[in-house]
Amino acid sequence: MLKVSIVIPTFNESHNITLLLEKLNRLSISPHMEVIVVDDDSPDKTWEVARQLGAHQYPWLKVIRRIHDKGLSSAVLAGFAVAEAPFLVVMDADLQHDEQIIPQFVEQLESGSDIVVGSRKSDGGAIENWSIIRRFISFVATLLAKIALSQPSSDPMSGFFAINQTTYSLTRNEINPKGFKILLEFLARSKGLRVTEVGYTFKSRQHGESKLSSQVIFQYLKALYELSLGVYFPVQFLKYCAVGVSGFIVSQIVLWS
């Protein structure tokens, strides 16, 4: 019986996807899983590599190649839309997430958890080879998320988590498909649900480049605002205020010059 659907959003991960699928195939739950690779039309043809593997080695593998839609959160939702198992797992393809804890995700969901977070900062969690600057950015981002969200988590920025289909069905119409950290959406909109954590060691990337950029950081801050203060003061309202204030300042400069 199918228990878990593992959704993997990808972009330029052709070297990593082969290794990751080999690791997933060795899991104890592999007879009860499906894996859904959602690729944003990678120039390195990650989607093509995955399709070949699905056709010749892994019958449990589905591949979605998205030509027009882009973005991590919308890719996750596209995977969820075709998932058939009662439990949904999200993980990256860059080999930084520890696939060995996925069976623990399933156990927690079977025991009644609504969301299970793979945490780098709870008991048993750790991070390999991060610079002081990267650790500081992560610390500040996590602190801001804890202030903004009513649902507590030691690692709200995690890209490695599981959710049951029932919880997803209750919240999917409210989820913003734009952004980089979709877990924030589920934590912010899933009131009164049971959230548990499983610690793991966040590994160093082996191939490819990190997706972290100034644009990603801006999207993250915008998402936090929209999920907290944005309920009372929408971003569009702030834009109008900014235009009004700047116009007032310019007019005063002209009047007094």
Closest CA to 78 of 169, 8, 21: 8
218-225, long-range: CB within 8 Å, 24+ apart, which pairs? 219/178, 219/179, 219/180, 220/141, 220/157, 220/179, 220/180, 220/181, 220/184, 221/144, 222/179, 223/176, 223/179, 223/180, 223/181, 223/184, 223/185, 224/144, 224/145, 224/148, 224/184, 225/148
Contact between 241 and 49 (Cβ < 8 Å):
no
pLDDT digits (tens, 9 = 90+) for 76-123: 999 999 999 999 999 999 999 999 999 999 999 999 999 999 999 888
- Give the pLDDT confidence score for residue 225 in this predicted structure: 62
pLDDT in tens, the chain (257 residues): 899 999 999 999 999 999 999 999 999 999 999 999 999 999 999 999 999 999 999 999 999 999 988 888 899 999 999 999 999 999 999 999 999 999 999 999 999 999 999 999 888 888 887 778 877 877 777 777 766 666 668 888 889 999 999 999 988 888 877 766 788 888 877 678 899 999 999 987 665 555 555 565 666 666 666 655 544 445 444 444 444 445 435 444 545 55
Q: What is the DSSP code (8-state) at residue 57?
A: T
Q: Looking at residue 96, what is its pLDDT?
A: 94
| Residues in CB range of 153: below 8 A, 6 or more apart | 117, 119, 145, 146, 183, 187, 195, 197
Q: Which helix or strand (DSSP H or E) is residue 251 part of? A: helix 235-256
pLDDT tens per residue across span 10-23 = 999 999 999 999 99
pLDDT at 138: 72
pTM for this predicted structure: 0.80
Q: Which residues pair with 38 in a beta bridge?
A: 9, 64
Calpha distance 132→142 (Å, rounded): 15
Name the pairing type of β-strands 87-90 and 61-65.
unpaired
Nearest by Cα to 62 from 90, 89, 35: 35
Could you give the CA distance from residue 15 to residue 207 in angstroms, rounded to a whole number?
Answer: 7
